[in-house]
Amino acid sequence: MKRALALALALGVRDAAAEPRQVAHWLRYVAVDYPGAVRQGQVIQQEEFDEQLALLDRSLQELRAAGDREVLYKRVQELRALVEARGPEAEVGARARGLADALLLGEGLVVPAGVSLERGKAIFARACASCHGEDGSGDTALGRTLRPRPADLQDPVLAEQRSPLGVALAVEWGIPGTAMVPRSDLSPGERWDVAFHVLSLGREGAKRPAGGPDLSLQELAWMSNQELRGLVLAVGAPRAEAERWMDGYRLALPGGAASAASQGRWALREARLLAPWDRAASAAAVGRALTATASLRREGGALPGALAALTPQASAEQLAEVELALLRASQPRQAHPDLERWWLLPPALLMLLWLLRWWRR
């Protein structure tokens, strides 16, 4: 167990106010790191495993103090039991993330327009690279002296579970008992810049990143790589193209306002996450989805049918189906012009030369 955290728990030290964002951060941390602690029912990293249980205990303490979150409290208890029983990685991850998201929805975490990967890279070099290295691998002189070592931000297993939101929260709250301390010197906007940059690590050299329906910044911020890949495959990306689409989503961020379809999807996602514990809030979110997609319902095609069948009492599965229908009906995202079209140039020039010669004959 990480020492400071162990101490805090032993002494019963608690922060003054229950902070939903902080609890959500711990739950997300469990979601990301559990596969590094338990694999196929076996503890492979005892320290990590103990830390996860401690974070869940601490979350329960906070939720109990908050008082008004009984259903959530019970679900976190169930999650703790599942972790203690060394349950399946996928299930722990999905449950922990679902709980965290439900907590975060009430927090109004809106990603500001104009998030910049370029700024994020500069912030990373200044504020993170001393430990994590410019490439995120964590192999630095300072990093080697730390226990635990800085996370390898390129590790493919951990990267699957990572999202810009998760990184932004890690930067805001730090990771208890490690050298990764909260960074109140960075503004919320800077935290988003650097978080999106972290998700682009290891992809920078990608050729022709592009493809896929347009997703809003907000959607991209909340989705882990795993979720994003699942969605890319669900809308029918050929397997060979899926990674190229992923590169596109992480390297070329959308600039403009969110489309009607994407606003609708976002509201449906809220409805789906809230459905298990707050029917009224979930129903209100369905209402917002219907308002946001009013223009789409007037057009023809399969989508209006799916939307018309939507009711405030829809189950999580039904909501997910309509989300997918909205995604399928979305405009393809605007490819990054420099990255997408340059390869057309050489064949186009060759064609022109060939035509010129043909005319001269």
Applying CB under 6 A, which residues contact ligand HEC?
Answer: 32-33, 127-128, 130-132, 146, 148, 150-151, 158, 162, 167, 170-171, 175, 178-180, 183, 194, 198
- Written as six digits, the tokens of 9 are 């728990």
Shortest gap between Cβ of 247 and ligand HEC (angstroms)? 20
The greatest distance separating any two alpha carbons of the chain, rounded to the nearest whole angstrom, comes to 91
The one-letter amino acid code at 257 reads: A
Nearest-angstrom CA–CA distance, 153 and 89: 20
Shortest gap between Cβ of 5 and ligand HEC (angstroms)? 10
Q: Toward ligand HEC, which CB reaches closer, 52 or 293?
A: 52
Q: Toward ligand HEC, which CB reaches closer, 194 or 329?
A: 194
How far is residue 14 from each of residues 10, 19, 207, 220, measured CA to CA in Å?
A: 11, 11, 49, 33
Contact 296, 261 (CB under 8 A): yes
Q: Toward ligand HEC, which CB reaches closer, 192 or 245?
A: 192
Shortest gap between Cβ of 85 and ligand HEC (angstroms)? 23
Shortest gap between Cβ of 346 and ligand HEC (angstroms)? 39
How far is residue 223 from each of residues 70, 111, 203, 311, 336, measured CA to CA in Å?
A: 27, 13, 17, 25, 21
β-pair partners for 39: 42
Q: Toward ligand HEC, which CB reaches closer, 130 or 137?
A: 130
Contact 313, 292 (CB under 8 A): no
Nearest-angstrom CA–CA distance, 235 and 61: 41
Shortest gap between Cβ of 138 and ligand HEC (angstroms)? 8
How far is residue 64 from each of residues 20, 55, 70, 216, measured CA to CA in Å?
A: 12, 14, 8, 35
Nearest-angstrom CA–CA distance, 267 and 241: 28
Shortest gap between Cβ of 285 and ligand HEC (angstroms)? 28
The one-letter amino acid code at 176 reads: P
Shortest gap between Cβ of 82 and ligand HEC (angstroms)? 20
Neighbouring CB atoms inside 10 A of 248's CB total 23
Q: Toward ligand HEC, which CB reaches closer, 51 or 323?
A: 51
- Written as six digits, the tokens of 294 are 């009013």
Q: Toward ligand HEC, which CB reaches closer, 47 or 78?
A: 47
Q: Toward ligand HEC, which CB reaches closer, 24 or 167?
A: 167
Shortest gap between Cβ of 24 and ligand HEC (angstroms)? 14
First to last CA, the chain: 81
How far is residue 38 from each of residues 1, 52, 148, 273, measured CA to CA in Å?
A: 15, 10, 18, 26
Shortest gap between Cβ of 185 and ligand HEC (angstroms)? 9
Q: Toward ligand HEC, which CB reaches closer, 50 or 340?
A: 50
Q: Toward ligand HEC, which CB reaches closer, 127 or 281?
A: 127
Contact 314, 283 (CB under 8 A): no
